[in-house]
A and B are shown apart, each in its own frame.
Chain A
């Protein structure tokens, strides 16, 4: 389930919006070997971007040290109920995924 949908929750308390993201990704480090001793090639998210109504509120770089099915939580100032928060990631194989959620 390398590129399954993300689970995103965004809640506003009037002044701040808290965003919780659960990504579905294998996050292979490139250090592990399979049952027959061959190296499993690295496959992990390299970039993640979160936008609020189109404005970037978080940009991050991920590496092989981040765990499988990563969880990320952050807050940003502003945001109101009904606004849109969109999260996208790109991995080292060029695969992409974008999911959007409405702030509650």
Chain B
């Protein structure tokens, strides 16, 4: 009799202890994950791509045997620092809005004679696409810690922003999915991955400003184009063409939303 009452008493006190412990435990887990990510970032293998990219920028290649050192990424020919946080933008020489990768294709074609459409058709992680990975890693690293300042002055830039906004909110496909399904609310996640609410400045800077990134699970460096390509795959949409208008429009929308908020951390490290 006495023994069983003691047991009940113990059980209730254990319950009482457990109840408030749950939210605190969740915080602890989030903190633990944050600490783990910090430790990972210290030895981010993206640095290996950065080193390669810097060398590639200065290496004479292609049929024209030219370097990329005169490539205009929007801040003037050859200016790399701060270029990443100001893209996509309108370029007068091509007459269209370009993101970092479509701009690199232009530079590779005009300065090195490497045909842009050939590179665009190359699968990710192969041939010239590998070189693009290294280049975007280095170019984005040169803007690390800077705030996004994606321009919206030119009518084409405003048009791309509007298209991007529509694409972001456009639900379709067999799952009736849109970007907004996963990235339109706070506190959503896929398994353990927190999803940024890309309609908000701070989150857009955190999300958009993290790619290109090194993916630990596959040991690859993913560019923004590859990231977007995979977002389309996850929604069961057809793959967008490399550097196509829809991908640039989405980047414009995300970049403009991120303007003035957090700092660019690219190339970051992801699971």
Name the segment of A1-9, A37-45, A74-82 touching the other chain: A1-9
A20/B43 in contact, CB under 8 A? yes
Name the segment of B46-54, B95-103, B170-178, B199-207 touching the other chain: B46-54
Produce 1/0 per residue, B29-46, CB < 8 A to A. 000000000000011110
**Complex Cα spacing A69 to B46, Å:** 10
**B25 in the interface, Cβ–Cβ < 8 Å?**
no
Produce 1/0 per residue, A1-36, CB < 8 A to B. 100110100000000000010101010000000000
Which residues of chain B have C-beta atoms less than 8 A from A1's C-beta?
A: 48, 52
Which residues of chain B have C-beta atoms less than 8 A from A20's C-beta?
A: 42-43
A22/B48 in contact, CB under 8 A? yes
**A98 in the interface, Cβ–Cβ < 8 Å?**
no
**Which chain A residue lies CB-closest to B218?**
A68
Which residues of chain B have C-beta atoms less than 8 A from A73's C-beta?
A: 42-43
Interface centre among B45, B51, B52 (most CB of A within 10 A): B45
**B78 in the interface, Cβ–Cβ < 8 Å?**
no
**Complex Cα spacing A67 to B217, Å:** 10
A4/B52 in contact, CB under 8 A? yes
Q: How far is the CB of B91 from chain A (nearest CB, A)?
A: 31
Which residues of chain A have C-beta atoms less than 8 A from B42's C-beta?
A: 20, 71, 73
**Complex Cα spacing A37 to B52, Å:** 31
Q: How far is the CB of A38 from chain B (nearest CB, A)?
A: 19
A22/B52 in contact, CB under 8 A? no
Q: How far is the CB of B144 from chain A (nearest CB, A)?
A: 15
Q: How far is the CB of B130 from chain A (nearest CB, A)?
A: 8
B219/A68 in contact, CB under 8 A? yes
Q: How far is the CB of A35 from chain B (nearest CB, A)?
A: 12
Which residues of chain B have C-beta atoms less than 8 A from A71's C-beta?
A: 42-43, 45
Q: How far is the CB of B138 from chain A (nearest CB, A)?
A: 13
Rank and list the top 3 A-B pairs by shortest CB-CB distance, nearest first: A71-B43, A68-B219, A69-B45
With contacts A24-B48, A67-B216 known, what are 9 further pairs, Cβ within 8 A?
A4-B48, A26-B219, A67-B219, A68-B45, A68-B219, A69-B45, A71-B42, A71-B43, A73-B42
